[in-house]
Chain A
Amino acid sequence: MQLIQNIPFISIMLSILAGVFCFASKAKLAERLTLGALAAITLMSAALLAELWQTGESFIFSMGHFPAPWGNELRAGVFEALMALAFSVVMLLSLIAGRERIYDDIAPARQGLYFLMINLLMSSLLALIYTNDLFTAYVFVEINTLAACAIVASKDTGETITATIRYLIMSLLGSGMLLIAISLIYSVTGHLLMDHIRASLEILAAKGSYEVPLAVVILLISVGLAIKSALYPFHTWLPTAHGSATTASSAILSGVVLKGYVILLLKIFYRVFGLEFIHQLQVANLLFAFGLAGMIFGSLYALREHNIKRLLAYSSVAQVGYIFMGIGLSTATGTVAACFHILAHAITKPMLFCAADGLMETSGHSRQIHDLKSAGHKNRLAGLAFTAGSLSMIGIPLFSGFVSKFYFATASLESPGKMVMTLLVLALSTLLNAMYFVPVIVTIYAHEDEGLAQGEELSFADQFIPEAEPEETGEPPLVHKSPVSYKLTMILFILLNIFLGCAYGPVLEIIERGLLMF
């Protein structure tokens, strides 16, 4: 056993220990600890990814002295390592970018506890990525739920606490379904570890017994996790929670937390049931239909919003729809595209939230879009980042969003029954995305004297103009000073997005190989 194989275990323990330590420490110390732990996890995950990429193997780490069906296990392959790396990078960047706002929004006595929640959130996400055991997954899903609710509630306004309780109630429904599904699985197979459940399910499938319970199990798990990852008809909690929390929380929740559940669902589909079983039961078609509905309705809701953070939150609903649509295509390419979109959205949406925060700062923290007029001139970097993020969301080449859309389209060609629907909805959703992002870009680059109505009439074809505008304009009236750390993270976010948009080849290959290893 090499030392490098301890990395999953060490990173989970590190974040839990850092979380425990934050309980009694002051905010500054807690922040340093959290950032340090996140940076260490990032480095370790990168090392793990490099190592596993070279050897091309996955490994199993047993937690304790007892092997497979008796003890707990962690499992890591390139896919898991890539996701851990992406999640820790996004966490780190969003925390640094939203740092100022954390200290503004949250009462001093609570700041240390906020970082505690962040640490435990990270540990639960890592555990969800790495675990090989369904019941461990349930326990960490609960940690994830509580920590995510707590980072919304930390702002302590009436709005956030109302949002939290809605979020909590929906999440509890979801975890109840997950738990009853796990007990049903246990009752028919007698195992909790994914590999062993798979083995005994194959025997059961050969005999043809327990077909009804297994179908119900898949349905319950899909619905339970879909509630938690805000698939369209279950998304009602998301806009208030993501729209009202402090910037770093919104960024982390939309970029990372939603995706953790999707990854768990993928793991269960691939490693517990096997794809053929899923396809037999038409669950994939259900997810496909809900995903398509989410892509359209999420965008339609976003079109009606005048509040920039809620607009971004509704856009998350649409993007989660994309991911489930990709999974629902039920081809290998579709799943790869969905996984790539997980990454693309994980780096784009936090950037948008942080950029929106930078823009809002210039206009006295108003969240209304019409108050952000010419904010892009006052805080140029935030404006640039917001533009880049929007273009990525719309799906302009060079940015990551384009790659995932392209791959969704390619994947749809492989499943003839769903091709027409997918292509149509993709086109429609792109159009809708443009329809709500372009007016915002136009508004933030409008001069104070220009009317807003003019901007709203701009059509889809005009979207390239705003990108060029920052260079053209003369002296902006008031340049907002943001801290260097904020600027650096925004630049990093943009570079990462362009990197994913241009050098997507190796990333896709990692995902493909990782999914084959599952």
Chain B
Amino acid sequence: MGGNFFTNYVEISAVVLFCIGFSTLLFHQNLLKKIIGFNIMDTAIYLFLAAKGYIADSDPAIIVDGILDAGRYVNPLPGALVLTGIVVSVSVTAFSLALVLRLYEKYGTMHMDEILYLSREDR
């Protein structure tokens, strides 16, 4: 273990969240749970990324009073990247939920194993 385990507490919790999301995505056989797990995983990554932009004792990067001093504001770039990421993950969520609905219409279940088994007969 490196020395910054406790000072990087935001990143550590982001990693914990990431792994909870990751294991939800892997372990749960209910598709809806899988999708929630994917969402948790994504927000954890965004938390990790946004924590990179934070600087203690500084203001949000909105230049209200015209002071152009880089030391006064937080780093706005990770925020911009996360903004892009959030929209990407909502799009993916919408698409996967639509797939779940179609699968439910066809097989009457949201359980991955049952679907895999039932779809084998379609071949």
Q: Do A and B bind each other?
A: yes
Residue numbers of A with Cβ under 8 A of B are 135, 139, 142, 145-146, 149-150, 153, 156-159, 161-162, 164-166, 168-169, 172-173, 176, 179-180, 183, 186-187, 212, 244, 307
State whether the Cβ of B20 lies closer than 8 Å to any Cβ in chain A. Answer: no
Q: Is B86 at the interface (CB under 8 A from chain A)?
A: no
Query: Other than the known A139-B88, A173-B25, what 7 A-B pairs have Cβ atoms closer than 8 Å?
Result: A142-B91, A146-B92, A158-B106, A158-B122, A159-B122, A162-B115, A176-B22
Interface membership of B99, Cβ < 8 A:
yes
Q: Are B18 and A180 in contact (CB under 8 A)?
A: yes
Contacts of A173 in B (CB 8 A): 22, 25-26
Name 12 A/B residue pairs within 8 A (Cβ), A-sorted.
A142-B88, A142-B92, A146-B91, A158-B119, A161-B99, A161-B106, A176-B41, A179-B42, A180-B48, A183-B48, A186-B81, A212-B2
Q: A260 vs B115: C-alpha distance in the bound complex, in angstroms?
A: 30
Cβ 8 A contact of B84, one of A139, A145, A150, A183: A139
* Choice from B18, B26, B81, B96 contacting A165 with Cβ under 8 Å: B96
Q: Please pick, from A146, A161, A169, the residue contacting B34 in the complex, using a CB distance under 8 A.
A: A169
A139 contacts across to B, CB distance below 8 A: 84, 88
Contact with A along B19-36 (1 / 0, CB 8 A): 000100110000100100
Do A180 and B45 form a contact, CB below 8 Å, given A146-B95, A165-B103, A212-B2? yes
Most buried by B among A158, A166, A186: A158
A176 touches B122 (CB 8 A): no
* In contact, B92 and A158 (Cβ under 8 angstroms): no
Answer yes or no: B118 CB below 8 A from chain A CBs: yes
Q: Determine the main DSSP class of A at the interface with B.
A: helix
Say whether A186 contacts B2, CB under 8 Å: no
The answer to whether A172 and B25 touch (CB under 8 A), given A157-B122, A165-B99, A179-B85, is yes
From B8, which residue of chain A is reached at the shortest CB distance?
A187
Q: In the complex, what distance in Å separates the CA atom of A183 from the CA atom of B45?
A: 8
- Min CB–CB distance B52 → chain A (angstroms): 5
Question: Quick check: is B116 within 8 A (CB to CB) of the other chain?
Answer: yes
Q: When A179-B45, A180-B45 are in contact, do A161 and B25 touch as well, CB less than 8 Å?
A: no
Interface contact A165-B31, CB-CB below 8 Å: yes
| B38 CB-CB contact with A under 8 Å | yes
C-alpha gap A195/B49 in the complex (Å): 21
Q: How far, in Å, is A305 (CB) from chain B's closest CB?
A: 11
Establish whether residues B25 and A169, one from each chain, have CB atoms under 8 Å apart when the complex forms. yes
Question: In the complex, how many angstroms separate the beta carbon of B38 from the nearest chain A beta carbon?
Answer: 5
Tell me how far the C-beta of B24 lies from the nearest C-beta in chain A, rounded to whole angstroms.
12
Distance, CA A221 to CA B2, complexed state (A): 22
User: With A164-B99, A165-B103, A180-B48 in contact, do A172 and B38 touch (Cβ < 8 Å)?
Assistant: yes
Whether A168 pairs with B99 at a CB distance below 8 angstroms is yes
A24 to B: closest C-beta gap in Å? 20
A167 → chain B, closest Cβ, in Å?
10
B102 near A186 with CB under 8 A, answer: no
The residues of B that contact A307 with a CB separation of less than 8 Å are: 123
Q: Which residues of B contact A156 (CB under 8 A)?
A: 102
Per the bound structure, the CA–CA distance linking A165 and B85 in Å amounts to 21
Residues of A contacting B81 in the complex (Cβ-Cβ under 8 angstroms): 135, 186
Q: Mark B100-117, 1 if CB is under 8 A from A, else 0.
A: 101100110000100110
Quick check: B45 and A153 within 8 Å, CB to CB?
no
Chain B residues 63-109 with CB under 8 Å of chain A are 78, 81, 84-85, 88, 91-92, 95-96, 99-100, 102-103, 106-107
Known A161-B99, A162-B116, A172-B25; contact A186-B49, beta-carbon cutoff 8 A: yes
Instruction: Report the nearest A residue to B41, measured CB to CB.
Output: A176
**How far, in Å, is A366 (CB) from chain B's closest CB?**
11
Q: Which of A153, A156, A161, A168 has the most CB of B within 10 A?
A: A161
The answer to whether A186 touches B78, judged by C-beta atoms less than 8 angstroms apart, is yes
Cβ-defined contact, A150 with B95, below 8 A: yes
Q: State in angstroms the CA–CA spacing of A172 and B85 once bound together.
A: 13
Q: Tell me whether B99 and A176 are in contact (CB under 8 A).
A: no
Residues in B whose Cβ lies below 8 Å from that of A166 = 116
Cβ of B100 and Cβ of A165 under 8 Å apart?
Answer: yes
Q: Contact at A162–B119, with CB atoms within 8 Å?
A: yes
* Chain B residues positioned under 8 Å from A186 (CB to CB): 49, 52, 78, 81
- Residues of A near B88 (CB, < 8 A) are 139, 142
A166–B88 CA distance with the chains assembled, in angstroms: 19
Residues of A within 8 A of B103 (CB): 158, 161-162, 165
Distance in angstroms from A154 CB to nearest chain B CB is: 12
How distant is the Cα of A187 from the Cα of B78 in the complex, in angstroms? 10
**In the complex, what distance in Å separates the CA atom of A244 from the CA atom of B103?**
16
Query: Closest Cβ of chain B: how far from A28's Cβ, in Å?
Result: 26
Decide yes or no: A153 and B92 within 8 Å by CB, A162-B115, A172-B38, A183-B45 being known contacts: no
CA gap between A172 and B25 in the complex, in Å: 9
Contact in complex: A159, B38 (CB < 8 Å): no
In the bound complex, do residue A168 and residue B18 qualify as a contact, i.e. CB atoms below 8 Å apart? Answer: no
Q: Which residues of B contact A142 (CB under 8 A)?
A: 88, 91-92
Closest residue on chain B to residue A169 by CB atoms: B34
Nearest Cβ on chain B to A161's Cβ, whole angstroms: 5
**Do A183 and B34 touch (CB < 8 A)?**
no
The distance in angstroms between the C-alpha atoms of A149 and B96, with both chains bound, is: 10
Provide the residues of chain B in CB contact with A150, threshold 8 Å. 95
Task: Report chain B residues within 8 Å CB of A180.
Answer: 18, 45, 48
Pairwise interchain contact A176-B119, C-beta atoms closer than 8 A: no
How far, in angstroms, from A172 to B92 measured CA to CA in the complex?
9
